[in-house]
Homo-oligomer: A and B are copies of this chain.
Amino acid sequence: MKQTPKYMHLADSLRKIIDENHYPDGFALETEYELAKRYSLSRQTVRHALDILASEGKIKKIKGSGTYVKRNAVLNKKTKIIGVIVTYISQYIFPSILRGIESELTANGYSMELSSTSNQADKERDLLNEYINRPVDGLIIEGTKTNFPNPNIRLYRELFDIGVPYVFINGYYPELKSISHVITDDCGASKKAVEYLAQKGHTRIAGIFKSDDMQGIERYRGYFEGFDSSGLEFHDNSVFWFNTENRNYLFREDYLMKLLNGYTAVICYNDEIAIQVYELIRKAGKSVPGDIAVISFDNSIFSDLNTVKITSMNHPKEEIGIIAARQLIKMINGGKCEYIVLPMELIEKEST
């Protein structure tokens, strides 16, 4: 059994103390140094625990000063509005995710305010600044480019300093790993996909991954782990990388088909990519799954609308929205941070 980390223990103890004692708003807690000494823990552990409480809106850390109790700061506002920031709104799996969020929020008397970033840090910056200046009860956020350093980390920290609770979906930033998140098990799903193809006799399995999102990176990690567990040897040249900006330029017949030459299967970052890849394979006069088997992620409507339905790892779209909204509401009512990883299941169709 996995041990609960020390910082979690400490966060739990401090939360209990804050909840049980009726400290006034702004009551100064012991310093990091004093807490470290009292609990015989490193300052790093103490800092990590305080970050969790800050992200729950229970305390406010003021740089160079100390840590202060934040008594029901958010509850007092009662805007009953939740901001939702996603990369895209009306495309792909986003309508389903948003449906999940909206149904759960509405059922609990909240209304949803929706914005999208197009996966651009500059639009994310403007939205975060807006929510720093105009109160909402909480936010559900899909970060931009979660595998690249983010210029807005400062704004994210400011949000939790002023006591606005938020929950990340689909990915998160290493600097903000204390913040609640609800993600899919992208690594495990990708490993399963490779193992499934290997069991079908494929040994030459190409992979197409997105390099600027955490999901792409984890799907890549699962890919090489699947090679390992299937007894196949990993080679870099079986991997094809793209990102938000160069995607449309890279998906061209000449480039892609040269890369796929010699492979009998390809694992695609998601269904949107899979149908582009399917089209290029077909244009090159090859068949799916006869010449090349195609497997993908997200089990979206795209995979079913394709001429040859695409085998895909099921993304719990609506569920992720419901769970994220439920978690945020818990936090607004004083609940603690949680880190939820949902499994993805293989849905076999016609492309493999």
A residues near B (Cβ < 8 Å) are 3, 5-6, 40-45, 119-122, 125, 144-145, 148-149, 151, 211-212, 217, 220-221, 224-225, 227-228, 233-237, 239-243, 245-246, 249-250, 255
Contact = CB atoms under 8 A, between A and B. Distances in A.
A246 B254 CA distance: 13
B236 A122 contact: yes
Contacts of A255: 249
Contacts of A241: 211-212, 243, 245-246
A114 to B, nearest CB: 21
A139 to B, nearest CB: 21
Given A42-B42, A235-B122, A250-B249, A149 B240 contact: no
A250 B246 contact: yes
Nearest to A233: B122
A250 B221 CA distance: 25
A149 B187 CA distance: 11
Given A212-B241, A241-B212, A243-B241, A122 B249 contact: no
Contacts of A243: 211, 241
Contact of A122 (B3, B121, B234): B234
A5 B44 contact: yes
Contacts of A145: 236
Nearest to A187: B149
**8 nearest A-B residue pairs (beta carbon):** A40-B40, A151-B224, A149-B221, A120-B236, A6-B42, A122-B235, A211-B211, A151-B234
A188 to B, nearest CB: 14
A234 B120 contact: no
Contacts of A151: 224-225, 227-228, 234
Given A148-B220, A149-B221, A239 B233 contact: no
B212 A148 contact: no
Nearest to A241: B243
A239 B228 contact: no
A345 to B, nearest CB: 23
Nearest to A118: B236
Contacts of A235: 120, 122
Given A41-B42, A145-B236, 18 more contacts: A5-B42, A41-B41, A120-B236, A121-B234, A122-B236, A125-B234, A148-B211, A148-B217, A149-B217, A149-B221, A211-B243, A236-B245, A240-B245, A241-B246, A242-B246, A246-B250, A249-B250, A249-B255
Contacts of A242: 246
B234 A239 contact: no
Contacts of A125: 234
